[in-house]
Amino acid sequence: MRTVCLLSIWFAWAVAAQAADCPDWPPARARQELAALRARLDGWNHAYRIEGRSPVSDAVYDQAEQRLAAWRQCFPAQAPAPLAHLADAGGRVRNPVAQTGLAKLPDAAAVAAWMQARGNRDLWVQPKADGVAVTLLYVDGRLRQASSRGDGLHGSNWTALAQAIDAIPKRLPQAPARVVLQGELVWRLPGHVQAADGGVNARAAVAGALARNTLDAATAARIGLFVWDWPSGPPAMPARLAGLAAMGFADSAALVQPVASLDAVKHWREQWYRHALPFAADGTVLRQGHRPPADTWQASPPDWAVAWKYPAASALAEVRAVNFTIGRSGRITPMLELAPVQLDDHRVQRVSVGSLKHWRELDIRPGDQVEVALAGLTIPRLQSVAWRATQRAAVDVPNPARYGPLSCWQSAPGCEQQFLARLTWLGGRQGLRLAGVSAGTWQALADAGLLHGPLDWMALAPEQLATVPGWDANRAAALARVFADAHGRPFGDWLRALGAPGDAVGAGEDWAALTAQGEGGWRRRGVGATRARQLAAFFANPEVRSLAAQLRLAGVQGF
């Protein structure tokens, strides 16, 4: 939850990109939407700074803040007062040196430009530890004060809590009379690989611990310290690093590396992303070795240090539409159509809500903003509803009472999705394994008016198949051969293709015997009550019986 500097390259770029596409809102709506977003950001700030919770990731917070800035540009007359980012932090201790924060660069090109502007000289890179910033003041070698970042100038007094954290030295050997250190309190994660493990809520764990009045020994032992600067140390970086090592911070000093090219920055960025570190890191930090005197620092991002964050593990996305897919079994799955967002190397435009019940609980509508992430680094996953549009759009929701395992055997209005799902199952690896036949094949046949029932394809001649737009005679002939071969598939394959409950497939009998079982017969075979009812209902269903009669006339084995 960091203040994003309006002068930073990243922020200016992001605001300009979003402002180029302003929402089409009347003034009253704009005022409502901006106020709602500002209130949400205030709530997130309070939760993080006061309660020690992280309701959303840093990436989502930053994106929401950028969204608010862009909307303010779109609707200056309707904009609320600027965010007082840390005004509620409650900190009353003055930091001995201002905590500056960091501007964030969006990509390698921006990093290269920043380096070139400094002649690619006296530049250094270090991991951007994902923890909670702390300032430590030592006088005559003894810890005098530990304070939070707060608003950069004033923070919370953590001196008492610091006494319980072994990672914070209480005395410094070989230290000058007055030493101010800035660093990050991190959650110890031995062997942590950021690319594989992600942030694992490490920052929230530290923030939650520091929000308490006291620390138990087990929690205190999980907190580590990464010192990332000695503001009033020697002017040259090598001397500062040597001094840090002499004072006992050799591990921190070893993670600061000289760089003179973008390739060198990329090397260390990849190294720290894909190899083990003892804490979570959400990017890299580039610094000039020489910088202004510490007493001139301000509580805003400087031009002598920047961050280049790792690909976002989660992102903020606007919901453009809510659609519903109906599967073969009649299950209704809400799908969110999103304004495209980039997660790692994936462009995410759709995400599943999971179930109709879950969607109703969340009440997601077009215009809402949601947080999405990648499950297993590949599959988009809905994390949360970041905030809701103030005006709730209507959504056309399918009636779940209309759909079930035995509905939509024909291509009737409202049944198109389930009917297509039945055909996709029938021809897929679960059923007849029809080579070269996909959901697109069935859709093309249905669009051409050649499919109304699930077995109509069995009677299609090559001449009919060739009438499908985009299909030539060779394609039609090949598909006709695949369809003809399906007649000879075993009875069990056909049962699976029709969607018969699994207990029927291995029964080893013909259609007549299975139909005669009834619920009682299945129960006597040891089938549970629920599955027995499903089996009896399937074999008694008039549509299913009609399909069995068609297969019998076609000479398919077992029918």
Task: Kindly list the catalytic residues.
Answer: 128
Amino acid at 387: W
Cα separation, 398 vs 412, whole angstroms: 15
**CB within 8 Å of 167: residues ≥ 6 apart:** 185, 223, 224, 225
Buried b vs exposed e over 270-280: b needs ≥16 C-beta within 10 Å? eebbeeebbbb
Cα separation, 368 vs 388, whole angstroms: 4
- Nearest 5°: CA angle at 48, between 46 and 49? 65
Cα 546 to its chain centre, rounded Å, is 47
Tokens 């200016």 — which residue? 12
What are 287's strand-pairing partners?
124, 305
Query: Strand (E) positions, 230-354?
Result: 257-259, 281-288, 305-309, 314-326, 332-343, 346-352
**Which two structure tokens, joined as six digits, stand for 291?**
């910088």
Residue 180 vs residues 134, 183, 278: alpha-carbon distances, Å: 11, 10, 24
**Which two structure tokens, joined as six digits, stand for 155?**
């923070």
